[in-house]
């Protein structure tokens, strides 16, 4: 059982290393709800229908 856990930890460490070196945007901070979050423009209202 300990070999399985050790293998998982080793795989996770290698995966994190590869992602960091490949330029992956790794953020282990969880969800963001402050100013630093990325916001998109609100949807523009549809044009009124022509009569």
The reported pTM is: 0.46
Cα–Cα distance for residue pair 49/47, rounded to 1 Å = 6
Helix (H) or strand (E) holding 4: helix 2-21
Cα–Cα distance for residue pair 11/8, rounded to 1 Å = 5
Token output for 9 = 């930890």
**Residue 12 vs residue 50, higher pLDDT:** 12
Instruction: Kindly write down the DSSP assignment for every residue of 16-43, as one continuous string.
Output: HHHHHHTT----TT----STTS---PPP
| pLDDT tens-place string over residues 8-35 | 999 999 988 888 887 766 677 777 776 6
């Amino acid at each position: 059982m300990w070999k399985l856990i050790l293998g998982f930890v080793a795989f996770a460490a290698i995966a994190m290393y590869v992602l960091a070196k490949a330029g992956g945007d790794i953020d282990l901070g969880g969800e963001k709800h402050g100013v630093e979050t990325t916001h998109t423009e609100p949807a523009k209202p549809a044009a009124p229908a022509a009569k």
